Chain A
Amino acid sequence: MTNPSTHPFLQVENLARAYPSPTGHDAVTVFDHVNFRIHKGEFVCVTGHSGCGKSTILNILAGLDSASAGNVFMDGREVSGPSLDRGVIFQSHALMPWLSVLENVSFAVKSRWPSWHKSKIRDHAMRYIELVGLKGAEHKKPSQLSGGMKQRVGIARAFSIEPKMLLMDEPFGALDALTRGVIQDELLKICAETQQTVFMITHDVDEAILLSDKIMLMSNGPHARIAEIVNNTLPRPRERSAIHKQPHYYPIRNHLVDFLVSRSKQFGALRDAPDAPSSPTVFDPEDLIEAEIDPVVHLPPVGKPHIHLVNA
């Protein structure tokens, strides 16, 4: 394995996005100084309150939106527009309602490999439809499917183009808890099989812990940033039914919830201090257990490389 810290797969540098204010001159900066790296095969979740610009960051990574400042590099090349290298799963599933399940997936496959023969496209699409458990429903229209099944088609479509990276914007946000659980399990399985690199936005702390290798926490906007990064070292394969018995589970969960409830607001004041850290604070589960026992939070020393690769 090459040393991942020298060759991050995705590198985001000083990303910022400002919108012109509705009243006139002063632009509103939603987020700025956003820096992070994602390594190949890593599953990264981002969470934070509404309005911190998570979706905008995802859209910039997808090439659908552009940043006001900063750069995104993937595989050493700058991201300047949408690309088949980055598959997107939209919250609203974004299936084309006039096409059947198979046609929706085939549309993506044909976009990826335009020279492929019809039957090859079909077989390839069917493989991914089977992967998400929709065999038998391939000729149905999206309107005939439940919300969970639609999102599965979205997943099949995104995986079918075999992207180098998968971007997911709250993919399960609109689903009921039971369906969400089932699809999370499937996603976990597929990602394990394909070693997919994933960047996912979620509001669900448990979802983040179940799926991710790394959880990025964003402070509240305006001027939002990635305030903290938590390395999620819970061993894989993970089981929904057993994960909460892991010793590190509750420390991580409490840390995340505490951040969302209180620290995300305070960060805004902190960041204007002259000695404010320019890179996010990184937590390992071991730190968090200490913090549980000892009320004094042990922050890692400033200047420590802000990416930890733990059993990647």
Chain B
Amino acid sequence: MKTKLTLSQKAGLLSLGLLAVILLVWQLATLPDTHAAAANVDPEYAALMGGGAAKAASSFPTPGAMAQTVWDRLSHPFYDNGPNDKGIGIQLAYSLARVLGGFALAAIVAIPLGFAIGNSRVVYQAINPYVQLLKPISPLAWMPLALYTIKDASASAIFVIFICSLWPMLINTAHGVANVRKDWLDVSRTLEVNPLRKAFRVILPAAAPTILTGMRISMGIAWLVIVAAEMLVGGTGIGYFVWNEWNNLSLTNVLFAIFMIGVVGMALDSIFGVLAKRVAYQE
């Protein structure tokens, strides 16, 4: 008897199938090729390195080794053995703190400013050239300037997050505010609603979905940029962790970090997805 599967059951099975294929290919690609390794290694180098020379050829981890690392690291996420050896939880917490700090600052600036820009054609036209000029600049290009002026590596990273989060929120807020349906504004005019009440009870809810989309884009970009920023400023954070493990030639840890960056990014995005649903309205 054939049982009918729901759409999500089918998709789930397909996903699992894909995972199995990926793991199989990974396993096959990382099988220790001892014969070839032994043949290619210079005997003198092999003598100097002991067993290490042969192993170096397959330093890309097997799925099994990877799983072991993930398990070990996730079972002790918050240990701290000095600057070069911290748990993944601590590193992610540093990165998240920077992202949230820069993001919050950007929201504090961008949302009121976006309101002003969206409400007034004059302000819009006055500010638009600056936004257009500043928007395409890679946030990392600000890093030297930030380091010079702020003179603090961690604060500079926050500044870089601030700059990259600013534009999508600013543009979306202005766009959302400028495109509030005229009917709703007319209603509030005929009801003689005062400007503050109009801003919070009419314009803000009307523009909220657009503003939230801007915030979601900003958060996505901020999480992309923090990795690069922390590779530059060093010290702590998931970006620093990736670079440090690259210097340690621990591809297992690099892969693990990549995986965690993806997980956290996905979680951040889904938080904004939930928020977006809450402010959405159907006309």
Q: Which of B156-197 contact A (CB under 8 A)?
A: 181, 183-184, 186-193, 197
Q: Is B130 an interface residue (CB 8 A)?
A: no
**Within the complex, which residue of A98, A111, A142 is in contact with B206, where a contact is CB–CB below 8 Å?**
A98
The answer on a CB contact under 8 Å between B193 and A94 is no
The answer on a CB contact under 8 Å between B189 and A97 is no
User: Per-residue CB proximity of A100-115 to B under 8 Å, as 1/0?
Assistant: 0000000110011000
A90 to B202, CA, bound (A): 17
Q: Is A141 an interface residue (CB 8 A)?
A: yes
The answer on a CB contact under 8 Å between A107 and B191 is yes
Inter-chain contact total with CB atoms closer than 8 Å: 60
Name the prevailing secondary structure of the A interface residues.
loop
A247 CB, min distance to chain B CBs, angstroms? 40
A300 to B202, CA, bound (A): 51
Residue of A nearest to B208 (CB): A98
A82 CB, min distance to chain B CBs, angstroms? 4
Q: Which of B255-283 contact A (CB under 8 A)?
A: 279, 281-283
Q: Which residues of the partner chain B approach A92 to less than 8 Å between Cβ atoms?
A: 183
User: Per-residue CB proximity of A58-75 to B under 8 Å, as 1/0?
Assistant: 000011100000000000
Q: Is B205 an interface residue (CB 8 A)?
A: yes
Q: Which residues of the partner chain A approach B201 to less than 8 Å between Cβ atoms?
A: 107
The answer on a CB contact under 8 Å between A112 and B282 is no
User: Given that A94-B183, A97-B281 are contacting pairs, would A64 and B190 also be in contact in the complex, using a CB cutoff of 8 Å?
Assistant: yes
The answer on a CB contact under 8 Å between A111 and B205 is no
Name the prevailing secondary structure of the B interface residues.
helix
The answer on a CB contact under 8 Å between B187 and A90 is yes
Q: Which residues of the partner chain A approach B282 to less than 8 Å between Cβ atoms?
A: 97, 141, 143
Residue of A nearest to B201 (CB): A107
**Within the complex, which residue of B188, B191, B206, B208 is in contact with A161, where a contact is CB–CB below 8 Å?**
B191
**Within the complex, which residue of A88, A112, A141 is in contact with B281, where a contact is CB–CB below 8 Å?**
A141
Q: Which residues of the partner chain B approach A97 to less than 8 Å between Cβ atoms?
A: 281-283
Q: Is A79 an interface residue (CB 8 A)?
A: no
The answer on a CB contact under 8 Å between A94 and B283 is no
A107 to B208, CA, bound (A): 18
A79 CB, min distance to chain B CBs, angstroms? 12
A173 CB, min distance to chain B CBs, angstroms? 14
Q: Is A280 an interface residue (CB 8 A)?
A: no
Q: Is A223 an interface residue (CB 8 A)?
A: no
Residue of A nearest to B188 (CB): A111
Residue of A nearest to B192 (CB): A84
The answer on a CB contact under 8 Å between B184 and A62 is no
A111 to B190, CA, bound (A): 10
B224 CB, min distance to chain A CBs, angstroms? 32
The answer on a CB contact under 8 Å between A82 and B189 is yes
Residue of B nearest to A65 (CB): B186
Q: Is A86 an interface residue (CB 8 A)?
A: yes
The answer on a CB contact under 8 Å between B183 and A90 is yes
A227 CB, min distance to chain B CBs, angstroms? 29
**Within the complex, which residue of A62, A87, A90, A143 is in contact with B283, where a contact is CB–CB below 8 Å?**
A143
Q: Which residues of the partner chain B approach A257 to less than 8 Å between Cβ atoms?
A: none
Q: Which residues of the partner chain A approach B190 to less than 8 Å between Cβ atoms?
A: 62-64, 82-84, 86-88
Q: Is A276 an interface residue (CB 8 A)?
A: no
A143 to B282, CA, bound (A): 6
B1 CB, min distance to chain A CBs, angstroms? 41
User: Per-residue CB proximity of B198-219 to A under 8 Å, as 1/0?
Assistant: 0001100110100000000000
A106 to B6, CA, bound (A): 44
A272 to B138, CA, bound (A): 67
Residue of B nearest to A59 (CB): B186
The answer on a CB contact under 8 Å between A111 and B183 is no
Q: Is A312 an interface residue (CB 8 A)?
A: no
Residue of B nearest to A109 (CB): B191
CB pairs A–B below 8 angstroms (27 shown) = A62-B186, A63-B189, A64-B189, A82-B190, A82-B192, A83-B190, A83-B192, A84-B190, A84-B192, A88-B186, A88-B190, A90-B183, A90-B186, A90-B187, A94-B184, A94-B186, A94-B187, A96-B184, A96-B187, A96-B202, A107-B191, A108-B191, A111-B188, A111-B192, A111-B193, A143-B282, A143-B283
- Known contacts A63-B189, A98-B279, A107-B191; 20 additional CB pairs below 8 A are A62-B186, A62-B190, A63-B190, A82-B190, A82-B192, A83-B192, A84-B192, A88-B187, A88-B190, A90-B186, A92-B183, A94-B186, A96-B202, A96-B206, A97-B282, A108-B191, A111-B188, A111-B192, A142-B283, A143-B281
